[in-house]
Structures are given as structure tokens and as C-alpha cells.
Amino acid sequence: MPQRTIDQASVTYFIQSRPAPSAPWQKPDLRATWASKNKALEQLAMRRERQPNWEHRLMQRTITVTDEPVPENPHERPQRRR
């Protein structure tokens, strides 16, 4: 049976903000993501200029894809690599 493979699919960056250190981080606008870290850092600097009294941080999201064989027999257990 073929082995399980894990490939890095993508890395994106986004910004999280909050009005005060005791406040929870706001959920990011998922449409505002960047593949380039440099572009995301530019956007972070602009956000800090627009909202200087808020706390902002750059976040990285890594999405991976796992391909593994699926047993055709429902009683067969999938093989796992260790």
C-alpha cells in the first residue's frame, strides 16, 4: 500500500488586533491575507499608524495537505507511518 505523504500547501499572513491587552484578539478578516510576509509587514505598519492605541500582531497560517491511502475493505485498518 502506498505511504502517507504530507506536503506544505501554503503559508499566508494576517493581522490580529485588540483594543487593550486585557481584551481578546479579534477574529481576523480572512479576506485580508497575504502570501508575502513583506506585504503583510507593510499592512501591519499601516494598521499601527491608523490605530495607534490598539495592539496588533502578525500571524502566520500554514495549511498542509495530507494524502494517504484509504482501505477499500471497511474492516481493514489504515496503515500509519511513525
| Residue 28: DSSP 8-state | P
pTM, 2 dp: 0.72
Mean pLDDT by 10 residues, the chain (82 residues): 71 95 89 94 97 96 87 71 56
What is the distance of C-alpha 32 from the center of its chain?
Answer: 12
> Domain for residue 72, yes or no?
no
Instruction: With H, G, I as helix, E, B as strand and everything else as coil, classify residue 24.
Output: coil
> Domain for residue 82, yes or no?
no
- Boundaries of domain holding 40: 5-67
> Domain for residue 75, yes or no?
no
Number of structural domains found in the chain? 1
> Domain for residue 15, yes or no?
yes
